[in-house]
Structure 1
Amino acid sequence: MFKSLLSSVITQASCQEGAGYLKRADTDRLHEIFLKYATVEKNGEKHITSEDFVRKFLGLFEEDDYNKESVKLIAGIVDMDKDGFISFSEFQAFEGLLCVPDALYKTAFQLFDTNGNGLVAFDEFAEVMRKTALHQKLPFNMESTFVRLYFGKDKKRLVTYPEFSQFLHDFHEEYGVEAFKKCDKDGSGFISAGDFRDIMLSVKKHLLTKDLMTKVINASGFPQGERKISFPYYMAFNSLLNNMELIKRVYLNATNGHRTQEVTKEEFLHSAQMMSQITPLEVDILFTLCDMIHHTNGGDEGSEVWVTTPSRNGRMVYNDLNSITPEQYFKQVTRRVAEIKAVSSPEERGVFIQILESTYRFTLGSVAGAVGASAVYPIDLVKTRMQNQRTGSFIGEVAYRNSWDCFKKVIRHEGVFGLYRGLVPQLIGVAPEKAIKLTVNDLVRDKLSDKKGNISLYAEILAGACAGGSQVVFTNPLEIVKIRLQVAGEIATGNKVRAWSVVKELGLFGLYKGARACLLRDVPFSAIYFPAYAHVKAKFADENGYNHPLTLLAAGAIAGIPAASLVTPADVIKTRLQVVARSGQTTYNGVIDATRKIYAEEGARAFWKGALARVFRSSPQFGVTLVTYEILQRLFYVDFGGSRPSGSELHVATPIEETMKKPQHIGGYQVALPVLTGLETKFGISLPRWSYAKPAQSQAQSQAQ
């Protein structure tokens, strides 16, 4: 009775705590999924068997020769009353448990709490531990002082969850010490390089990256350059690998957040002592490992000593650390839970917060747009003049032979500042134009994304098209004033043309002359540009989903090439409609009329005038704009509780997240697989997958089973 009551209390606590960290899927939806796997009825209620939960729902141990004992232990994490069947309340409780920040520790605790009383006894711990692959390969001394300190001299003390979490944290380190002692048979404080390799590949394998395993451990290329490994070196080596996330923070502290800046050993040591007590020996090992992995000259086959060439003269950069940083499942699970929470509850943010976020985006977009426009404005002026140049036979000699000729003549006749005619109204209009474009694109993307934040290509194109259409209300008045100022220098008059005089001359409705052509240009441009930018950026991101500013600039520029070039005909028509026709030049009465007359008088090639200049202007402009926008967000980041604007930050799916793409895994169950995998990578608790050892066993062993 007491046992059942205690299990119920633990179940309710898990549900309540989990609900506080992650908005779970609707109970009806969860129950619907539960019923798909519930094949047993007990006391009038449906239940899931241990095998169905582990093998069918979680997708683990799918082999025909699976280890039934391992399946039973994993199912026991969920099966609170340990009757071999999982009820809906237990199914729901585990979903809630997966949502809490310490889900990994609580899951491990429930694995060892085999009788479900909320406490772990020594016998329970020993029973589970002896079934692990690690213990079978390298048995742990269950009579050690370490064990007795936690479970008491007579090993009768029951350990609570907080105490057991500390025990698990220390246990794996003690396992490594025990392994060293077993190999150091004469008590000299040294073990052979071969023993070191065996320990690292068995007890400490989860700390090793592929590069470390192949280039250092398997090759016996240890930084000491000796056949013996001392205990201080052994402890420092493992401590370093255990704390690689801290090492990364020390590096970023030394470089003020720059990931490409080279750091010397002395600079790193100084930063380390400011943040944490990382020992000089650990730092020595760190720099030597970076050297070995990236600049290693192999010796003779079988040699235990490798000669290393210093990388970058004893310096390292951030990417060097990735080669020796083990995959941190616990960190990724925690981040994933935070992402699910943010995506699943955007409606919980108040109106005031959303207004502040829009103001924040507007401000950053304005600054970024101004920077981008200023950077390429001379090219834009040349493009406009080339597009306005008429080549009909009755016009006479053309003013400019090509874009370069136009550029030189503007400087010769109008001075360097002539290249910036119309810049002021451009900068005034860029703020609302960029802000509304980014805001509408984000808004439509959010509406068309599913609950997991995924969006189809068609939805991306539609979002971009809506963004392009919405900006015309600001773009058209801005561009017609800018264009008339840009071509004013071609007319030799004594009067200086100013922006305000152009606005008064046009009037309100005149400011929207050529708006249809502007729509024909801006809608397809944004429909092409935003999806292209997102996908190119994804390709350029590193393995952590991080984009260096140079990759952002490249992604923005590359995406601008097809977008700018393909809409040039619409841009030519818009330019012709918006400029003031001089004496002898053809006038136009709309998009269709302009299209017919341009084709009749100048041919199809006229529609592509200034295409090269347009690409050279639009491509770098958007590259500069978006890289500025991204950098501003990184420098002045404010968390409003929602998703960042589209294009500001890319999340690249990790291998762990790929494993979570199970249609029946909603809510907390989205992190079920990485949490269970974390039992091995965090604590070394690896349960055998098969019912027998793999290579093939002897006939006598088969008969014995």
Structure 2
Amino acid sequence: MCTVDKITLYSYQLRQLTRASIQYELCILSNMTSRRGAGYLKRADSEKLHEIFLKYATVEKNGEKQISSEDFVRKFLGLFDEDDYNKESVKLIAGIVDMDKDGYISFSEFQAFEGLLCVPDALYKTAFQLFDTNGNGLVAFDEFAEVMRKTVLHKKLPFNMESTFVRLYFGKDRKRLVTYQEFSQFLHDFHEEYGVEAFKNKDKDGTGFISAGDFRDIMMSVKSHLLTKDLKTKVINASGFPQGERKISFPYYMAFNSLLNNMELIKRVYLNATNGHRTQEVTKEEFLHSAQMMSQITPLEVEILFTLCEMINHSNGRIIYNDLNLITPEQYFKQVTRRVAEIKAVSSPEERSVLIQILESTYRFTLGSIAGAVGASAVYPIDLVKTRMQNQRTGSFIGEVAYRNSWDCFKKVVRHEGTFGLYRGLVPQLIGVAPEKAIKLTMNDLVRDKFMDKNGNIQLYAEILAGACAGGSQVVFTNPLEIVKIRLQVAGEIASGQKVRAWSVVKDLGLFGLYKGAKACLLRDVPFSAIYFPAYAHVKAKFADDNGYNHPMTLLAAGAIAGIPAASLVTPADVIKTRLQVVARTGQTTYNGVIDAARKIYAEEGFRAFWKGAVARVFRSSPQFGVTLVTYEILQRLFYVDFGGSRPSGSELHVSTPIEESRKKPQHIGGYEVAIPVLTGLETKFGISLPRFSFVKPAPQ
């Protein structure tokens, strides 16, 4: 196991070794660092890594293949692909890998860098090697100054290399050599000092104030990596920020930057105040109380936070979690997602044309149909077992029961009717389940949209009402579907030798007969959906990550968990519906409506009869709705179309991060999966940006 100290020790010794020894030591370093990072990223197979190396090794030196600096940076990493690229920048980046600084990268160096990328402090290690231009394992002031003077930032706003801060780290005469651990702290503090130096530079008279224009210049140059798009456009570049003030004080300036640096902490304070709820509104006083309990966030920082939220999202003195996302800068190695499911759209549905609204409904209906078909097919055998168990009579005057339990029923169906017997009635189920699930999902989204406020909040009663409306609306499709499906499912129990088909069942029933048991169907579907959809929304929110994003597996789990109480609690209504819709055989009791069925079932079979098939129903409905909902939401993510209205729940767009983008490159394996994010992190975390072009392009006016 390689420790950071051992890695640093190897860096110290590299300069004193011969070329052959360097290669040998680098191989050892690669193996050790890869083991050190085994828990973080899978190390690439050495042969595969060598195969990739040879694709770019176009130079032969000292009898071995090597990669030139330009080929490594521009072709392998895919950076600086412009014709007028900045050669100095390319040389500096390649120097991170080129340990002996000869302008070429051997396989040993290539392999060592792969190992370096696997260690947990890869970002700091890479930054250290960027500044260690002579490769001796130490950073001198001259090396630091040489690299910094070539950055975009220094060209825009030069840093005072004679400052007390620099002398404290590099010594009074600036001759002190800084180790890796010391340099990591220096780099962390340097950018904060850069901000202070920038303020001093603008405050010529030492008044402790700078103009709003100077503040904007500093933030757009020195602190641009801390700014989101919304912050730049709606705050920093807004006329008269902040709040029409013409001068910005130093305390305000420091609090502003401290706030942006600590947005992840701010989010934890918010979640502490709301007990983990992301849509609950929080006042300034409530936030302050939570902040003082958890951390040392100052009242001025909280004041700025609420001011920013008001300017960006018109929060009216109350903030929700999504407001914080709008001002949270992209963090190193942090997955960034767009939270859109519950936010009010730019245009309201009333402002859109009737045609657009019809197209949107058709779009949702189509996706709901596909999702419903997938969910129904996945659990249909369980549904068949559930139906037969519920239809089994157990009165004392009835003969031997056909099935002892659900498992016994499953085995007997397979034994006597074959595997396909488990799918009796599937075709009409698929024909009917498409519009049934589609109207259910669409109606739930539609009613939720109507009750949702501008911050994406919805009250519990509105969630229940939306679910109830969804359940009620589907009965027009559900009842005909259910009665045909049930009669086909129990047909296999009758050894008549005559095959029962769906169309013959429909003709026998007629139009009104298709709605036999509709009241019982309503008694089942309305409470089911009223329980299911709110439960699903809340469980899904609990499983979401800090940005509110749900992985497909958490969506599946949320759907399955929400289905357990919903499916089990409405089983009595489902039993009554099944008895009403099945044709009674000779000697079996007949029923005349819901109340009559309930009385006779209780009298003949007892209270437990109402819970027949409850286990099978849970095992069917719970995974079915889990599969249906996860399919529905994934389809919305993959095929989202912006109709200008509210986005349906689940249609969040997952924004690709540098890690994910780098993984799209097949040659980036093992540690190299994070090569691009690490180099990107030099700018996003430390503000160190090297010019891409041979000249620094003027900033847009």
Q: Structure 2: how far apart are the matches of 1:109 and 1:630?
A: 44
Deviation of 1:243 (Å): 0.6
Superposed CA RMSD in Å reads 17.9
Deviation of 1:255 (Å): 1.4
SS in 2 for 1:377: helix
Q: Structure 2: how far apart are the matches of 1:69 and 1:591?
A: 83
- Partner in structure 1 of residue 514 of structure 2: 511
Shift in alpha-carbon separation, 1:662–1:446, aligned structure 2, 3 A: farther
- 1:22·1:337 contact (CA, 8 Å) conserved in 2? no
- Partner in structure 1 of residue 638 of structure 2: 635
- 1:379·1:613 contact (CA, 8 Å) conserved in 2? yes
Deviation of 1:691 (Å): 0.7
Shift in alpha-carbon separation, 1:603–1:653, aligned structure 2, 3 A: farther
Deviation of 1:186 (Å): 0.8
Deviation of 1:220 (Å): 3.4
- Partner in structure 1 of residue 674 of structure 2: 671
Q: Structure 2: how far apart are the matches of 1:416 and 1:672?
A: 52
Deviation of 1:547 (Å): 4.0
Q: Structure 1: how far apart are the matches of 2:501 and 2:132?
A: 81
Shift in alpha-carbon separation, 1:595–1:397, aligned structure 2, 3 A: same
Deviation of 1:233 (Å): 0.1
TM-score when normalising by structure 1: 0.57
Shift in alpha-carbon separation, 1:270–1:168, aligned structure 2, 3 A: same
Shift in alpha-carbon separation, 1:280–1:493, aligned structure 2, 3 A: farther
Higher deviation after alignment, 477-486 or 38-47: 477-486
- Partner in structure 2 of residue 680 of structure 1: 683
Higher deviation after alignment, 214-223 or 83-92: 214-223
Q: Structure 2: how far apart are the matches of 1:39 and 1:434?
A: 59
SS in 2 for 1:520: helix
Shift in alpha-carbon separation, 1:484–1:675, aligned structure 2, 3 A: same
Q: Structure 1: how far apart are the matches of 2:183 and 2:670?
A: 27
Higher deviation after alignment, 572-581 or 252-261: 572-581
The answer to whether residue 28 in structure 2 is matched with residue 9 in structure 1 is no
Higher deviation after alignment, 94-103 or 505-514: 505-514
SS in 2 for 1:41: strand
Q: Structure 1: how far apart are the matches of 2:56 and 2:390?
A: 67
Please, which runs of 5 or more residues in structure 2 have no aligned partner? 1-10, 24-36
Deviations 1:466-497 (A, max 9, x none): 99999999999999999899999999999999
Deviations 1:268-318 (A, max 9, x none): 112112221011100110011101101299xxxxxxxxxxxxxxxx21110
- 1:22·1:340 contact (CA, 8 Å) conserved in 2? no
Q: Structure 1: how far apart are the matches of 2:410 and 2:246?
A: 70
SS in 2 for 1:296: coil
SS in 2 for 1:491: coil
Shift in alpha-carbon separation, 1:630–1:596, aligned structure 2, 3 A: same
Deviation of 1:22 (Å): 3.1
Deviations 1:370-412 (A, max 9, x none): 9999999999999969999999999999999999999999999
- 1:14·1:93 contact (CA, 8 Å) conserved in 2? no
Q: Structure 2: how far apart are the matches of 1:526 and 1:130?
A: 64
Higher deviation after alignment, 39-48 or 186-195: 39-48
Q: Structure 1: how far apart are the matches of 2:115 and 2:354?
A: 29
Shift in alpha-carbon separation, 1:75–1:257, aligned structure 2, 3 A: same
Higher deviation after alignment, 633-642 or 557-566: 633-642
Shift in alpha-carbon separation, 1:392–1:639, aligned structure 2, 3 A: same
Shift in alpha-carbon separation, 1:61–1:495, aligned structure 2, 3 A: closer
- 1:121·1:158 contact (CA, 8 Å) conserved in 2? yes
- 1:626·1:647 contact (CA, 8 Å) conserved in 2? no
Higher deviation after alignment, 253-262 or 653-662: 653-662
- 2:344·2:646 contact (CA, 8 Å) conserved in 1? no
Shift in alpha-carbon separation, 1:402–1:222, aligned structure 2, 3 A: farther
SS in 2 for 1:344: coil
- 1:23·1:345 contact (CA, 8 Å) conserved in 2? no
Shift in alpha-carbon separation, 1:359–1:585, aligned structure 2, 3 A: same
Q: Structure 1: how far apart are the matches of 2:350 and 2:184?
A: 36
The answer to whether residue 209 in structure 2 is matched with residue 206 in structure 1 is no
Deviations 1:422-477 (A, max 9, x none): 99999999999999999999999999999999999999999999999999999999
Q: Structure 1: how far apart are the matches of 2:311 and 2:349?
A: 47
Higher deviation after alignment, 519-528 or 380-389: 519-528
SS in 2 for 1:343: coil
Q: Structure 1: how far apart are the matches of 2:413 and 2:89?
A: 79
- 2:531·2:566 contact (CA, 8 Å) conserved in 1? yes
Deviation of 1:55 (Å): 0.1
Shift in alpha-carbon separation, 1:273–1:409, aligned structure 2, 3 A: farther
Q: Structure 1: how far apart are the matches of 2:107 and 2:403?
A: 79
- 1:467·1:526 contact (CA, 8 Å) conserved in 2? yes
Higher deviation after alignment, 208-217 or 627-636: 627-636
Higher deviation after alignment, 552-561 or 251-260: 552-561
Shift in alpha-carbon separation, 1:7–1:441, aligned structure 2, 3 A: farther
Deviations 1:149-168 (A, max 9, x none): 00000000000001001101
- 1:21·1:341 contact (CA, 8 Å) conserved in 2? no
- 1:468·1:525 contact (CA, 8 Å) conserved in 2? yes
What is the aligned-residue identity percentage? Answer: 91
Please, which runs of 5 or more residues in structure 1 have no aligned partner? 298-313, 697-704
Deviation of 1:350 (Å): 59
Deviations 1:44-74 (A, max 9, x none): 2211100000000000000011000000000
Deviation of 1:694 (Å): 3.1
Q: Structure 2: how far apart are the matches of 1:451 and 1:156?
A: 59
SS in 1 for 2:15: helix
Higher deviation after alignment, 412-421 or 665-674: 412-421
Deviation of 1:176 (Å): 0.5
Shift in alpha-carbon separation, 1:392–1:132, aligned structure 2, 3 A: same
- 2:524·2:574 contact (CA, 8 Å) conserved in 1? yes
Higher deviation after alignment, 374-383 or 40-49: 374-383
- 1:436·1:471 contact (CA, 8 Å) conserved in 2? yes
Deviation of 1:193 (Å): 0.3
Deviation of 1:245 (Å): 0.7
Deviation of 1:146 (Å): 0.5
Shift in alpha-carbon separation, 1:105–1:269, aligned structure 2, 3 A: same
Deviation of 1:188 (Å): 0.6
Shift in alpha-carbon separation, 1:491–1:287, aligned structure 2, 3 A: farther
SS in 1 for 2:416: helix
Deviation of 1:250 (Å): 1.1
Shift in alpha-carbon separation, 1:324–1:369, aligned structure 2, 3 A: same
Of 522, 532, 557, the match for 2:535: 532
Deviation of 1:256 (Å): 1.6
Shift in alpha-carbon separation, 1:677–1:495, aligned structure 2, 3 A: closer
- 1:468·1:523 contact (CA, 8 Å) conserved in 2? yes
Deviation of 1:267 (Å): 1.6
Higher deviation after alignment, 86-95 or 106-115: 86-95
Shift in alpha-carbon separation, 1:165–1:632, aligned structure 2, 3 A: farther
Deviation of 1:258 (Å): 1.2
Deviation of 1:568 (Å): 19
Shift in alpha-carbon separation, 1:88–1:458, aligned structure 2, 3 A: farther
Higher deviation after alignment, 259-268 or 522-531: 522-531
Higher deviation after alignment, 544-553 or 184-193: 544-553
Deviation of 1:135 (Å): 0.3
Shift in alpha-carbon separation, 1:294–1:589, aligned structure 2, 3 A: closer
Deviations 1:86-140 (A, max 9, x none): 1111111111111111111110000000000000000000000000011011100
Higher deviation after alignment, 584-593 or 149-158: 584-593
Deviation of 1:225 (Å): 3.1
Deviation of 1:7 (Å): 2.2
Deviation of 1:505 (Å): 30
TM-score when normalising by structure 2: 0.58
- 1:545·1:651 contact (CA, 8 Å) conserved in 2? no
Shift in alpha-carbon separation, 1:578–1:163, aligned structure 2, 3 A: same
Deviation of 1:498 (Å): 30
Shift in alpha-carbon separation, 1:454–1:165, aligned structure 2, 3 A: farther
- 1:438·1:645 contact (CA, 8 Å) conserved in 2? no
Q: Structure 2: how far apart are the matches of 1:11 and 1:625?
A: 64
Higher deviation after alignment, 684-693 or 450-459: 450-459
Shift in alpha-carbon separation, 1:21–1:491, aligned structure 2, 3 A: closer
Q: Structure 2: how far apart are the matches of 1:446 and 1:7?
A: 64
Shift in alpha-carbon separation, 1:515–1:562, aligned structure 2, 3 A: same
Q: Structure 2: how far apart are the matches of 1:424 and 1:144?
A: 79
Q: Structure 1: how far apart are the matches of 2:470 and 2:64?
A: 53
- 1:366·1:432 contact (CA, 8 Å) conserved in 2? yes
Deviation of 1:544 (Å): 4.0
